[in-house]
Structure 1
């Protein structure tokens, strides 16, 4: 059934108009025929629905009535008039319509349903009544045909609106003669204005982003008005809500008598495609820049490799024909120095590439920050002494200060900065100050490395943390370095969530200030029962060597061993330790890892490779670097165990007991 009062379609307004027209038509029929009740009925197989009633005061009293006969055509279920009706139908009609006479009009189609006019108590025996009903049918046919046409047009408009919405395409039209601009609903949505917004030409222009976009739309519109050439452009506008919207606008002109009278066209929201294009363009530029940077990096690395390689190959060739021992030794030292530089460059390149490729990760563990700092300072004491410069160290925390952080990377940062200071300082001093402070309830490791070296100008300072940005104006190979150290320092500090600042003046030196957030580690160590050594074990002699570049550290270990009447030999670097191991078979070597000349792991490898230990001898690492990676490195070098600084008596005693047990079994 067609219920106009329950309409939910997009043609609601049209159907309301139709309902009014049909009601007027039925009422006019009643007036013409001189009756009180007229109806527009819809017939189905099992029911008769009342669509329109002229008067609610007269029957029928229901909207839906049972059909007299469920058969088609309608003539069989609802005769044309009461004169042609059967006795049974008359009884049915009287029951529901409370009348005996009626005239039915022709059957019409409304939305695929059969409808017709019925006028109650209109006498079918008067031919004039039949003629009047026929005229009313003609009016009804025209009314319904008009509705179908308007509905079809409305449907097309609705479909057009939907298509505009789906594609985000709006239409517009400018009546130049009357200076009137018309926007479609989608155009209003694109500009984010209300449905009742009435734009002017000036409004439309002002929506375009000020500057190039507004100037460009003004130019192309003027050009089209003058020449008739259509336009197509992608421009940016600012909506009524302040949002940036990229649109693709197309426009055409209509001319009459050589004069432009109308402009019309479309505008489409192309935000996604433009943003995608801009993003792709940005990525393309980034990729091109990265490719260019990689090319430059490879070129610079190739160049940097040549210097140490030339030193190695040149000196090795010279050594072949050198007969003087002192000259040969000097040339060998130069070759070894060049090899060290080459190894340092390779390590720096590996570090740098792993960081920029995202393959780098931090490894956190508890470590004694003072021991780590002292080890680093001890390494640089000799280097500074060799150059005749003073090294000042201020460590503002006690020996039992433990923190949680990446000890290896913090050590790498401090070592690189100190190396840089030594490299660029020929006289005067270098100072390192390290302390722990609470900043916003977060413990922060603060370090300041200052030197009285050559300093840097503003140009060098602006690019100092970029790779291979060393001072090429210097003729000294030592001052040029490999150009990666500071870049790595900057990357490492950034990875650890810290900050790095540099202050420098030409001829007045440089100062690097770093701040690295850490976590305080518990000072409570696992309580271990005292390790006891039996008198039988203590009767076994042991050859012990303590290797550490720090005098105090050697003294501490020696005093712990003297408790058991063992007096160890001492070496202040790995090279001395190797020579002593060649001269004497040691049962136990306590080996520091970070030392000048030759570090502990390198010394251990040499001792193990040459088989310089006793048959039950062992090397124990003593270091402030306590990460899992450090332990693995020590193990791979051939060290049997690992002690973290500061060492304690119980741990040293345990190592002595292991050595004594091994010797007692093999004795």
Structure 2
């Protein structure tokens, strides 16, 4: 029987085949020597371990016994036979093995230890017994050597498999004589098949992605089979589980008499490196495209800057030597128009770059949507009238409809679309329709800007929202503009979570439709208590100026002031307001902000710079734009207060009270 010490490493390392062979050697030795007990011992300085014994019915009874002496080598602690041992050793042997005679074979190495055959009660004086033991030793030596070789091969294969796993590299081999294809375990893992899967050359090729990759591997294999030239390629395959896997495959051919008899090679999972390379390639292309786009943008901006700058410098030079007043005014108007174009370009470039650089953020506030739209329409009434184009406006909500959103950007979207319509419409009409509808619980601001202008072809429509994509080949310089307005509109609508559509026919006109989700405003209720002005306070005279480009807005505000018997002067834009302030000292000016010719903020700056207001005088902003930036710009210009459209009587009364109180102190 074979018997192992559970504490010995040999218990783990010896294989079943070795166990059977060792048992067979010990048993054959007992039979040839005519004895009952043979042993295979593992001997070291401290213990003698019994690995194999022929019979369990005979001593020794222990798995492990103490060594005779703590010495080395084995020959010194275990003599070769009972005929050559000392009396002390014989006593030790008799104690543990219950016998006086034995023959020990040669010492062999096994897994770094020493083993030897020992046959109990075999007579060492008989030469034929020694010869038989010598033959058994040769048999044992061959068996152990075979075991060492096989174990080394197994260890090598195990190491090879581990290295394949670490590097994610599998091997394969095709015998073209037998058409047998062999895959290593790692190759199976890469293809995500089980251990029992039997590949063929055809099924292996079918793992490659259909199309270029499968055709390429078929071409490569055919070429190598015919020429014997090795290959190296990076291709994509689809595993048995449907996963996409990029592999780097290498192959070689074994040729015999000019004919390929074997193909072999490796395949390595290179998913990570390929994905990284593809990502880097995509980023490189994006960077190149962005660089090219920026280059084109800068080139076009440079071109666009030259036109208004030329108009400004040219007209200023002409004005310098002009003596006729009417001609000088005409040239000054051209210079101002060019300056407006230059400012518009600069503002558009700043908006565009902030959006594409990710620096743009929406700033929400509560505002009156009707007042916002009315202000925009008022600005474009004059522009349309100058071109002889009719402007229709339909605003389908009441005067006190407050919403929560980015008022400045919504205004910019509608303004840009109207500017585009005015620019490309020489006759006919322009209509703007704005309404508020609900989709479920979500309020949607719907706006439509339609014109009867030149229209656009399908080619222009496909790129109309890209920067500088207008029809420069057919349109005049005036029609081309700066080419950023519609691009900004598209990005603003997208930023606000809205949708933008355009319909157009050449020679028929264009229609832009936008839908922007917003929120209804939750304004705090104003105090119901009305501000009262005593007759004594109202006895103080006030010079009041109402500045607004909208006739109705001036009428509404004027009627609120007439309640107290104050009849204000009126101005339709900032330039007129400045001229009137030069000829009369006003105690309070109600100043609209968004106006043609000269806006309210600019007019306020001029009035204060020229010292046209009395010490107690107040300029109050009246506007639909109520963002923090709007309030800040009004405050920086010198405005003392800020009224949001539509204005209410109580707010106007409060401004009168503050003005009257201030004037009473100074009088």
Contact kept, 8 Å, 1:14 with 1:150, in 2: the verdict is no
Q: Flag structure 1 segments of 5+ consecutive residues without an equivalent.
A: none
Contact kept, 8 Å, 1:493 with 1:516, in 2: the verdict is yes
Number of the residue aligned with 1:117: 117
Inter-partner Cα distance in structure 2 for 1:61 and 1:519: 94
Q: Flag structure 2 segments of 5+ consecutive residues without an equivalent.
A: none
Number of the residue aligned with 1:150: 150
Inter-partner Cα distance in structure 2 for 1:179 and 1:470: 65
Given the alignment of the two structures, is residue 491 of structure 1 paired with residue 508 of structure 2, yes or no? no
Inter-partner Cα distance in structure 2 for 1:401 and 1:523: 11
Contact kept, 8 Å, 1:40 with 1:50, in 2: the verdict is yes
Number of the residue aligned with 2:254: 254
Summarize deviations over 1:92-143 as a string: whole Å, max 9, x none. Answer: 6566556565444333222112333334454555554444333323322222
Report deviation, 1:333: 0.9
Q: How does 1:11-26 map to 2 (within 5 A)?
A: 15-26=15-26
Summarize deviations over 1:339-372 as a string: whole Å, max 9, x none. Answer: 1111111111111122112222211222222222
Number of the residue aligned with 1:197: 197
Number of the residue aligned with 1:613: 613
Given the alignment of the two structures, is residue 231 of structure 1 paired with residue 231 of structure 2, yes or no? yes
CA shift in 2, pair 1:108/1:326, >3 Å: same
Number of the residue aligned with 1:41: 41
CA shift in 2, pair 1:652/1:107, >3 Å: farther
Inter-partner Cα distance in structure 2 for 1:649 and 1:634: 22
Q: Give the 3-state SS of the residue equivalent to 2:282 in structure 1.
A: helix
Inter-partner Cα distance in structure 1 for 2:21 and 2:63: 19
Number of the residue aligned with 2:167: 167
Number of the residue aligned with 1:435: 435
Number of the residue aligned with 2:137: 137
Pick which of 423-432 and 600-609 moved more: 423-432
Q: How does 1:473-492 map to 2 (within 5 A)?
A: 473-492=473-492
Report deviation, 1:203: 2.0
Number of the residue aligned with 1:280: 280
Summarize deviations over 1:421-449 as a string: whole Å, max 9, x none. Answer: 12222333222222222335332221111
CA shift in 2, pair 1:457/1:101, >3 Å: same
Inter-partner Cα distance in structure 1 for 2:13 and 2:78: 32
Contact kept, 8 Å, 1:404 with 1:518, in 2: the verdict is yes
Q: Give the 3-state SS of the residue equivalent to 1:360 in structure 2.
A: coil
CA shift in 2, pair 1:506/1:4, >3 Å: farther
Q: How does 1:45-64 map to 2 (within 5 A)?
A: 45-56=45-56, 60-64=60-64
Contact kept, 8 Å, 2:4 with 2:63, in 1: the verdict is no
Inter-partner Cα distance in structure 1 for 2:526 and 2:98: 107
Inter-partner Cα distance in structure 2 for 1:602 and 1:197: 82
Pick which of 338-347 and 467-476 moved more: 467-476
Report deviation, 1:601: 1.2
When the two structures are aligned, how many residues end up with a matched partner? 665
Inter-partner Cα distance in structure 2 for 1:525 and 1:67: 104
Inter-partner Cα distance in structure 2 for 1:126 and 1:599: 131
Inter-partner Cα distance in structure 2 for 1:65 and 1:440: 91
Q: How does 1:327-406 map to 2 (within 5 A)?
A: 327-406=327-406
Summarize deviations over 1:177-234 as a string: whole Å, max 9, x none. Answer: 2222222222222222222322222223222333333333233332223333222223
Number of the residue aligned with 1:180: 180
Inter-partner Cα distance in structure 2 for 1:563 and 1:50: 123
Inter-partner Cα distance in structure 1 for 2:46 and 2:528: 99
Pick which of 219-228 and 300-309 moved more: 219-228
Number of the residue aligned with 2:214: 214
Q: Give the 3-state SS of the residue equivalent to 1:500 in structure 2.
A: strand
Number of the residue aligned with 2:652: 652
Q: Give the 3-state SS of the residue equivalent to 1:300 in structure 2.
A: helix
Q: Give the 3-state SS of the residue equivalent to 1:590 in structure 2.
A: strand
Q: Give the 3-state SS of the residue equivalent to 2:15 in structure 1.
A: helix
Number of the residue aligned with 1:302: 302
Q: How does 1:417-436 map to 2 (within 5 A)?
A: 417-436=417-436
Inter-partner Cα distance in structure 1 for 2:190 and 2:585: 88
Contact kept, 8 Å, 1:452 with 1:510, in 2: the verdict is yes
Summarize deviations over 1:599-636 as a string: whole Å, max 9, x none. Answer: 11111121122221112223222222122222222222
Contact kept, 8 Å, 1:403 with 1:519, in 2: the verdict is yes
Number of the residue aligned with 2:595: 595
Inter-partner Cα distance in structure 2 for 1:128 and 1:350: 109
Q: Give the 3-state SS of the residue equivalent to 2:514 in structure 1.
A: strand
Inter-partner Cα distance in structure 1 for 2:67 and 2:652: 111
Q: Give the 3-state SS of the residue equivalent to 1:468 in structure 2.
A: coil
Q: Give the 3-state SS of the residue equivalent to 2:229 in structure 1.
A: coil
Q: Give the 3-state SS of the residue equivalent to 2:462 in structure 1.
A: helix
Summarize deviations over 1:566-625 as a string: whole Å, max 9, x none. Answer: 333222221221111111122222211111222111111211222211122232222221
For the aligned residues, what is the CA RMSD?
3.0
Number of the residue aligned with 1:243: 243
Inter-partner Cα distance in structure 1 for 2:98 and 2:525: 107
Pick which of 472-481 and 630-639 moved more: 472-481
Report deviation, 1:235: 2.5
Q: Give the 3-state SS of the residue equivalent to 1:323 in structure 2.
A: coil
Summarize deviations over 1:276-326 as a string: whole Å, max 9, x none. Answer: 222222222222222222221122112222222222222222223322211
Contact kept, 8 Å, 2:171 with 2:186, in 1: the verdict is yes
Q: Give the 3-state SS of the residue equivalent to 1:647 in structure 2.
A: coil
Q: Give the 3-state SS of the residue equivalent to 2:151 in structure 1.
A: helix
Summarize deviations over 1:390-417 as a string: whole Å, max 9, x none. Answer: 3222223333332222111111001101
CA shift in 2, pair 1:657/1:107, >3 Å: farther
CA shift in 2, pair 1:514/1:107, >3 Å: same
Number of the residue aligned with 1:459: 459
Inter-partner Cα distance in structure 2 for 1:468 and 1:7: 84
Q: Give the 3-state SS of the residue equivalent to 1:558 in structure 2.
A: helix
